[in-house]
Chain A
Amino acid sequence: MTPLQIIFLIVAVLTLGCAVMVVSTKRMMHAALWLVMTLLGVAVTFATLESAFFTVVQVVVYIGAIAILIIFAVMLTRPEIQEKEPALNRGAWLAGLAALLVFAGLAAGLSLLPSFGSQRPPAAVEDIAALGAALVSPDAYVIPFEVASVLLIGALIGAIYVTGSQQQP
């Protein structure tokens, strides 16, 4: 095993452990903090693949924005710092089954890829400009990109409507 593989295994185990803690810890706030650790683990995985751009974007988007919004919501909605209810309810095993099925489906799908199980090709220099051009080029990903932006704008307008309508008598 190369040192990189050892680092990858350690990071993978830590990420999965943190992910388990997200759903099993009692305090809502701690779940949010474990989620931050999980997302950080994913960022480190990107780093072991020598992709500086995706590492940093993972931190900016998921920790800098999404995790902070989740923590903000938890801070606003939890009445007490200590929580008493159990973390799992009766639907837990169903959710576990669904997660297993999704994992099996993904693993089966990935194993069909021709490069499955082979060594990673030597890292090329990361070309951010090519990524940016691909996002706005009609030959590449402009339609998924635009669909995603329309979806986000829809979510924004929906959020404004939901919060605004409560103030009316």
Chain B
Amino acid sequence: MPNFWQDPIGFIAAWLHSVLTGWGLPTEVVDFLLALLGAGVIALGAMLFVIFLIWYERKLIGRIQDRLGPNRVGPYGIFQPFADMLKIFTKEYITPEGADLVPYNLAPILAVAAVLLIWAVIPFAHNIVGVDLPVGLLFVIAAGGFGELAIMLAGWGSNNKYALLGGFRAVAMLISYEVPMIFTMLVPAMMANSLNLNDIVRAQTVPFLLTAPLAAIIFFITQVAEAARSPFDVVEADSELVAGFMTEYAGLKFGMFYVAEFLHAFTISMLFSVLFLAGWRGPGAEQFPLLGVLYLFIKTFVVYFIVILLRGSLPRFRIDQTLDLSWKVLTPLSLVAVFLNALVLKALVEAGLGGDSLGAQLLRAVILLAANVGVIWLSGQLMGQATLRERPVVSGPRPLAVSRPVVEQQE
């Protein structure tokens, strides 16, 4: 039997296995039940965690906007999400006339499921991981595809023009941002020589944020866009499209979209921590996996804080600006990032610096960091010139609120 502190999940699994076989169940049935239990625990844990996330985000957004945030129910308003939850449970289900019933009802479930699928492959510690999939990174991309499908189904099935417009925007935006996202995901995979998320974490003696900052920044921006968070929330755009694809949803179905949005924002932070901030790595994490879980959550909350800060401080992009940013800036830059890291890394290995010793790794990290910073500075200069370019003046200024001299009007 494994030691609890060295392998907590293995310890609990072995204990449950012995208890269940003691009841006379065959081994295959017990294995199946344990797999089912593990999947249930991860999904349920993530869903319940959202209750805390909603409070955290509302409180933080309140502070950013110089408000108090929720503060009535319980200490610091921490029980506010429970009150909201009860309210949403008791609301009426409204199905719009002419709605396409199966897509309309399937969409909210698919939206939550697509986010929960990502949790299945996230390594919380070196031996606390749902499925240690050899192609974990591709699996994350595949799960994102289901999220897009959910938004389109909601937009189409509602039989509402605002919902349909939201669906169009979602497809245009999410597909555009998937291109640089996949390119930048290639960089950690390349540097770790593996698609397995746990191997990627193990390869980060120096976090990839330092060895591939260009890819990390682009990945972060595309992930915020994939989660359709402000400033990329053109999909819902309350001031233009009512509520976009979820206009026609009420009650628990709306609640599912709400949960999916908050959980997605947290999940992208977690993915960023795993891919670029060395995930569960930290002092003593190999010895005590629970410490690794703690490190991962600390890193995730730092990234999540930045995501919320962006939401609280930036206005929404227009849809054309959103697509311009993806196709004209991020896609070429992500290609540059892939080639830069590949070429520099290969050159370093050819020059005899490919060793696994700490010194060689640090030296490689410094050279990669210098190359990346150089490219970031150069692209910043280029983009600065593009924005400072003088644009043709179409007409002179026509101010609306100018006080005209009274004398002229009397003439």
Contacts and interface: CB of A to CB of B under 8 A. Distances in A.
Interface string B162-191: 001001100100010010000000000000
Contact of B164 (A30, A68, A75): A75
Interface string B131-142: 001110011011
Nearest to B144: A64
A68 B152 contact: yes
Contact of B142 (A29, A64, A72, A128): A64
Given A59-B145, A60-B142, A63-B146, A72 B152 contact: yes
A22 interface: no
B200 interface: no
Contacts of A82: 98
A36 interface: yes
A27 B159 CA distance: 14
Contacts of B195: 128
Contact of B159 (A56, A75, A81): A81
Contacts of A27: 100
A64 B145 contact: yes
A43 B110 CA distance: 17
A68 B149 contact: yes
B138 A63 contact: no
Contacts of A128: 134-135, 195
A23 interface: no
Most-contacted residue by chain B among A60, A81, A82 (CB, 10 A): A60
Query: Which secondary structure dominates chain A's binding surface?
Result: helix
Interface in A120-145: 126, 128
A52 B195 CA distance: 12
B133 A60 contact: no
Interface string A23-59: 0000101100100100000000000000011001101
Given A53-B135, A128-B134, A68 B156 contact: no
A46 to B, nearest CB: 12
Contacts of A72: 152, 168, 171
A71 interface: yes
B255 to A, nearest CB: 24
B312 interface: no
Interface in A62-79: 63-65, 67-68, 71-72, 75-76
Interface residues of B, number: 28
A56 B142 contact: yes
Contacts of B145: 59-60, 63-65, 68
Contacts of B155: 75
Contacts of B8: none
A75 B156 CA distance: 7
B148 A68 contact: yes
A75 B152 contact: yes
Interface in B253-279: none
Given A29-B100, A81-B100, A128-B195, A71 B152 contact: yes
B107 to A, nearest CB: 11
Nearest to A58: B142
B103 interface: yes
Most-contacted residue by chain A among B145, B167, B178 (CB, 10 A): B145
Contacts of B138: 53, 56-57, 60
A75 B100 CA distance: 13
B56 to A, nearest CB: 31
A81 B98 contact: yes
A64 B159 contact: no
A126 B134 contact: yes
Contacts of B98: 81-82
Contacts of A59: 142, 145
A52 B171 contact: no
B134 A53 contact: yes
B394 to A, nearest CB: 21
Contacts of B152: 68, 71-72, 75
A59 to B, nearest CB: 4
A56 B135 contact: yes
A62 B100 CA distance: 23
B98 to A, nearest CB: 6
B149 A63 contact: yes
A68 B224 CA distance: 21
B366 to A, nearest CB: 29
Contacts of B139: 56
Contacts of A81: 98, 100, 156, 159
8 contacts: A29-B100, A30-B100, A63-B145, A63-B146, A71-B149, A72-B168, A81-B100, A128-B134
Given A72-B152, A81-B156, A81-B159, 7 more contacts: A33-B153, A52-B133, A53-B138, A56-B135, A60-B145, A68-B145, A68-B152
Interface of A: 27, 29-30, 33, 36, 52-53, 56-57, 59-60, 63-65, 67-68, 71-72, 75-76, 81-82, 126, 128
Interface of B: 98, 100, 102-103, 133-135, 138-139, 141-142, 144-146, 148-149, 152-153, 155-156, 159, 164, 167-168, 171, 175, 178, 195
